[in-house]
A and B are shown apart, each in its own frame.
Chain A
Amino acid sequence: MGLGVQPVGVVPAVTADTPAGAAPARPESTGGDRVIGHGGPARFLALQWLASPQPYLMLIGYALFLGSWYLSVEVLKLPRFAEMPGLTTVLREWVSTDPTYGLSIHTPIYYQHILVSLRRIAIAFVLATALGVPTGLLLGWSRRFRDYVFPIFEALRPIPILAWVPLAIIMFKGSETPVVFLTTLASFFATALNTMLGVRAIDRTHVLAAECLGASPWQVFRHVVVPAALPYIFTGLEISIGVAWFSLVAAEMVSGQFGLGYVINTSYTTVEYPNIVIGMLTLGVVGYATSAAVRLAGNRLMAWRKRDLALVGGG
């Protein structure tokens, strides 16, 4: 069991970017011909997580952050934060059954804002994925397509999404379509670029091996190119969903009548400052949940990779 002790230092590093109790390194699987079960019992993993320093460090981190907010606004009353809503004010407002500014977890309008934002994210994310993955695959696989498209792609990509706002409003009527368009655009670039990099990074011997074994170009594409690029694609999707929230809020602040970005912006103009923070915190929670969902889907699709990584972590 000497090995059982060794990976402790590894655990936080491995799981730092895969919270939600993702499998920490399995110390006993140090290669060899061992059979490793799919997933593993959830209870065991949860216990292992609780036994690692990770959850406690996380709690301390949160406590420090929220504590300094509380201290600087409500105890020390630093002049810089004179107008800033305090921690307790925000929390009280957030859970209040009769909120002063009309927004709390007990008001239907709160959920309506979340749903509207989520709906826009969902549409934009699906569109961006449906367009971005094939574009990225083509960019990576076809030299000619890359020669045509990539220069334009690279010229458009750095344009900040805010710069697109006026054009989006001119091009699309109504308040919904411009927001979805802007959100899709930003996500599309992240997904397409990562997918392309994934295809470009393919180990050429895998392609040669497949050809040797009699695979046609289409079979090589399907059985080698796509699965090999999948880790990159999912990294792209995780970035893409983050970027989607970013541009969604930007777009909602400019146009739209609902959504979390709209809440933050109008609360500012109507001087309902606690609502700004409620909107921000809600964005944090919902945004995190969507990224976690994407990551989870990725892990599901790439069981081989997760088990590879678990082995590396343990060995």
Chain B
Amino acid sequence: MTAPSPARGAICIRDAVKIHGTDSAGVAAVESCSFDVAAGEICMIVGPSGCGKTTLLNAIAGFHGLEGGSIHLDGRLLCGPGQPKAPIGPDRIVVFQNGALFPWKTNLENVAFGPIVQGRLGRKAALEKARGLMAEAGLRGCEDNYPGETSSGVRRRVEIVRALMNEPVVLLLDEPYRALDSLTKSVMHEALLDMYYRNRVTIIFITHDLEEAIFLGHRVVIMTSRPCRPKKLLEVDIPHPRDYAVVTSRRYRELVHETAEAVHEEALKAFDLGEREAAEGGRFAA
């Protein structure tokens, strides 16, 4: 249960710019966006749909580059001048919005996939380790099922275990619980925290659910609607470890109140922007 505060996983984003489309007809998805994420922190990014949060996350993951600015991980340049695109690698693992378990592999094979393809572990050792991690995460009994046979809640947990299996430095979660009902969501939140307390990795978690953000995060970064940049930084001064009782606490409600207005304001802006663009013929594609 000892969880030493990690020395790795600090992310530093400076003046990031990302433009979708061609230079002349481009739409800035991210602009002059700067903030830091401390090693081992759960950093929640909240913003209206389509504001460019995912774009930022994908730049950290290395799925695409930036038009300006830089991203550093533990002082090492991931992406910026001289390095157009961060290398994709198992030190930063994305858990996708709609889930990306391989449906043709069993849950256990999915979890063991990383170390096997990286050649870090033999097949047998990897499967053994995967079995252990799944058991720790309360996923015993569904190892040999295919993802399609398990509930969406289990699939999300398996996917996070699949990521942790690689001992990543940073976990990038892109609205992983978006499609879940609120009851399942609350179970997922506790399961995520539980996994986090055992493996203190840096977590960058995108959501548009403010309450989710405050419940989970050390810090909440509220983004402006497109172009995306931090509008407000909120330190969540509720001590970890947390459990679901937190949502009934006074401090939690205060923080939600304090922040709701800022979020709502951006949501309205994003909505107006969307209406305007729809009228113009929908230039912006997701």
Closest to A211 in B: B88
Asked if A155 CB lies within 8 Å of chain B CBs, one says: no
Looking at the complex, which one of A214, A230, A303 makes contact with B89 (CB distance below 8 Å)? A214
Q: Is B273 interfacial (CB 8 A cutoff)?
A: no
Q: Could you tell me if B90 and A304 are in contact, using CB atoms closer than 8 angstroms? A: no
User: Which size bracket describes the interface of B in this complex?
Assistant: 20 to 34
Judging by beta carbons under 8 Å apart, are B148 and A206 in contact?
Answer: no
Q: Is the CB of A33 within 8 A of B113?
A: no
In angstroms, Cα B102 to Cα A31, docked, is 18
Assuming the contacts A209-B96, A223-B113, A308-B146, asked whether A214 and B102 have C-beta atoms less than 8 A apart, the reply is no
Chain A residues, Cβ within 8 Å of B142: 33, 35
Give the residues in chain A near B113, CB-CB below 8 Å.
Answer: 210, 213, 215, 223
Find chain B residues with CB under 8 A from A31 CB. Answer: 149-151
Cα A172 to Cα B61 in complex, Å, equals 56
Contact with B along A214-249 (1 / 0, CB 8 A): 111001000110011010000000000000000000
Contact of B104 among A29, A228, A311 (CB under 8 A): A228
What 0/1 readout, one digit per residue, does chain B (80-99) give for beta carbons within 8 Å of chain A?
00000000111011101010
Q: Does B166 contact A (CB under 8 A)?
A: yes
Interface string of B228-241 (1 = CB under 8 A from A): 00000000000000
B148 x A214 contact (CB < 8 A): no
Return B183 CB to nearest CB of chain A, in Å. Answer: 14
Q: Compute the total of residue contacts between A and B using a CB distance below 8 Å.
A: 95
Question: A residues within 8 A CB of B144?
Answer: 35
Which residues of chain B have C-beta atoms less than 8 A from A211's C-beta?
88
* Shortest beta-carbon distance from B160 to chain A in Å: 12
Give the residue of B102, B104, B141 whose beta carbon is less than 8 angstroms from that of A302. Answer: B104
CB-CB under 8 A from B105, the residues of chain A are 223, 227, 304
Q: Does A289 contact B (CB under 8 A)?
A: no
Does A32 count as interface, using CB distance less than 8 angstroms? yes
Give the one of B141, B146, B163 with max A CB within 10 A.
B146
Contact A304–B93 (Cβ < 8 Å)? no
User: Contact between A215 and B117 (Cβ–Cβ < 8 Å)?
Assistant: yes
**B162 CB-CB contact with A under 8 Å:** yes
Q: Mark A195-216, 1 if CB is under 8 A from B, else 0.
A: 0000000010110111111111
9 further contact pairs, Cβ within 8 A, besides A214-B89, A223-B105? A32-B151, A35-B145, A205-B98, A205-B100, A210-B102, A213-B90, A213-B166, A216-B117, A224-B102
Residues on B close to A: CB < 8 A?
61, 63, 88-90, 92-94, 96, 98, 100, 102-106, 113-114, 117-118, 141-142, 144-146, 148-151, 154, 162-163, 166
A residues neighboring B (CB under 8 Å): 29, 31-36, 203, 205-206, 208-216, 219, 223-224, 227-228, 230, 302-305, 307-308, 311
